[in-house]
Structure 1
């Protein structure tokens, strides 16, 4: 993706707006509760105070909950935030597949079933918000060989299902370790990968070294603590702010033009994710964003809305 010079260096914030479930247990179609949306309005006000728009990627339980739709309808009244889609196949009709780790990655489904689930979600979001979504994420980063074509046929412009530096193949998902964080055009869409940065004295060896260290007991931890190699994702969830700030500096200095941040909406209320278990964790979560927004402003990295990104695509 060749960004125009006028775009500068920017960042965007994706929110996986989704139902609550116990991350330690097997996936279950019965888990459709959305009570954590009670914390969304307050969090949105905090982001607005920093001039940050939210790209809200919502799944089927959210799109079918009138209370959640009402909350998000007020969010997009800020004129900058936007509603996109996130496909969790195990809670998204039609339910023609067993719930297994393999089928939790939508790209593994039969082509007709993946298409039907995308249609069900897209149409529901369009009906709820009066506008067809143009940005998509496969839940669990479950993009498959047909996903981009299916999205392009339905009018999507952007996919954000790729997580560079991560490998989900152990339970049937994609392996993204060969990819970097740069945006790229593919099949009529633009892919905006979640930003992953390798830091440390051996960072030039990046993903191959990180992959090799995974085969050595405690290898990754030893190298990280020694300042040799760390894999940093731009998220407040289980990522210390000091490490994330260092990653931002590395990415900007390396010429990455669009940084992509992400978090899960259930983290906005304690007790729903492993990352925010209590009030102290929630305070740290909000403090993380306060410090990050200040640092980005200091580095001259401005927030980009989905509209800004689409305009830059030409």
Structure 2
């Protein structure tokens, strides 16, 4: 019988207000009904041994009851809180929210600084807690924001979204393994060891990922979009871009990604999703009839598959940072 190998499994949850992602950004009154599902979800995690990181934004921090069972589980070290900055929901407010300024990476660093300080003050007031992990709203990170995070005592960032780009920023070319970002180019490894980048797991059902991504990008170019080549490759299962997220991917696709990612990057996986998708119509994006049950079932099935070959080691993101400082073979060069 083959000996099982250790597999580090991380789970992060963007914990935030719900709204229709295809509509305007919410202002003023923020609905946070999804937070009522967090204690139940954390109970599921505790039962499975998962030790998640909840990236909590300003609206959610205001909505979480300080004496809730969920907060008690944070105090018992069954999970951790990270900071999540949504510009439209985080004072002070400067401009009416739009697509461009909804991305933290597009804001003047002075505005990011003021918003981050307000968020950390709320953490101290509501939870008596100093977050050490951070994720920007809508992904993306810059050297200026990374330097700001270090100045505020953060030790882990998880804002890099591998193989993703839009009109405002790109994460193309970033390592897909944990790495120490360069102070001048946060998508490359550098010499500083203050903040560790822990990207979420994104990849393909084919390896190597860099070659698969080049094919996917080429076929997604404007000249070839009309042929819908990537859609054909998806349906034929010849090439699929897959996200390790139970709100985005079916169980079978996540398992295929896990198998490929472990071979590509070593025994480490980082799953993620949004708390707003724990309820129906929380985003308008996740269409499952029973969203809470579907997310939990998909996570459980992925873990059950992985447990046949691996001894799964659950860590929070900050625990992973400490672990990787000693076990440097996990860090991208």
Query: TM-score if structure 1 supplies the norm length?
Result: 0.90
Q: CA deviation at 1:128?
A: 1.8
Residue number in structure 1 paired with 2:320: 309
Distance 2:114 2:234 in 1: 43
**What per-residue deviation string (whole Å, max 9, x for no partner) do you get for residues 192-248 of structure 1?**
111111113785622221111212232211112222211111000120100100110
* Partner residue, 1:183: 178
Structure 1 window deviating more from structure 2 (193-202 vs 115-124): it is: 193-202
Structure 1 stretches of 5 or more lacking a match? 1-6
**Superposed displacement of residue 14, structure 1:** 0.2
Gaps (5+ residues) in structure 2?
184-193, 326-333
The answer to whether the 8 A contact 1:89-1:117 is kept is: yes
Equivalent residues in 2 for 1:90-239 (5 A)?
90-169=88-167, 172=168, 174-186=169-181, 187=183, 188-200=194-206, 205-215=211-221, 216-217=225-226, 218-239=228-249
Query: What RMSD in Å do the two structures reach over aligned CA positions?
Result: 2.1
- With 111-120 and 23-32 compared, the bigger mean Cα shift is at 23-32
Return closer, same or farther for 1:237/1:278 CA change in 2, 3 Å cut-off: closer
2:71 is equivalent to residue 40 of structure 1: no
1:22–1:272 Cα contact (<8 Å) kept:
yes
Q: Within 2, Cα distance between the matches of 1:288 and 1:85?
A: 26
SS in 2 for 1:119: helix
Q: Which is further off, 232-241 or 210-219?
A: 210-219
Deviations 1:156-196 (A, max 9, x none): 00000010011122xx2x21122241111024210011111
Provide the C-alpha distance between the structure 2 equivalents of 1:22 and 1:76, rounded to a whole number of angstroms.
29
What do residues 232-289 of structure 1 show as CA deviations (whole Å, max 9, x unaligned)? 1100012010010011011112233431110111111122123544544443222101
How has the CA–CA distance of structure 1 residues 279 and 153 changed in structure 2, closer, same or farther, with 3 Å as cutoff?
Answer: same
Task: Summarize the alignment of residues 74-85 of structure 1 with structure 2, pairs less than 5 Å apart.
Answer: 74-85=72-83
Tell me how far 1:49 sits from its aligned partner: 1.1
Per-residue deviation, residues 33-90 of structure 1 (Å, max 9, x unmatched): 1111111111111111110011010000011225377353133144230011100011
